[in-house]
Amino acid sequence: MSSVKMVSRRERVFSRREVEALIAEGRSIIVMNGKVLKVDAWLKYHPGGDKAIMHMVGRDATDEVTAYAVLSC
């Protein structure tokens, strides 16, 4: 019997190369709290506009999002 664990989409681990390839294909990818987020669908709905997200593509956005959330409360 095999001991291979199936991983759900939510638990999938992306390598740095996979993230870079997705960005090279034109996808909008950010990292938040250690999780890879594909934010393409959210861009047109973001209250701060797409530029607020686009400058974080390919980067860890955790500190920026956390700081903004604290300031806006």
Please tell me the CATH superfamily of domain 28-73, with its number. Answer: Cytochrome b5-like heme/steroid binding domain (3.10.120.10)
Percentage of the chain surpassing pLDDT 70? 85
pLDDT tops 80 at residue 33: yes
| Tens-place pLDDT, residues 8-24 | 777 788 898 999 999 99
| Positive or negative torsion for Cα 45, 20, 62, 33 | positive
pTM of the predicted protein model: 0.72
Determine the pLDDT at residue 5.
59
Using DSSP, state whether 66 is helix, strand or coil.
helix
Domain boundaries defined on the chain? 28-73
Determine the pLDDT at residue 68.
78
> What mean pLDDT is predicted for residues 35-56?
90
Q: How far apart are CA 57 and CA 37, in angstroms?
A: 10
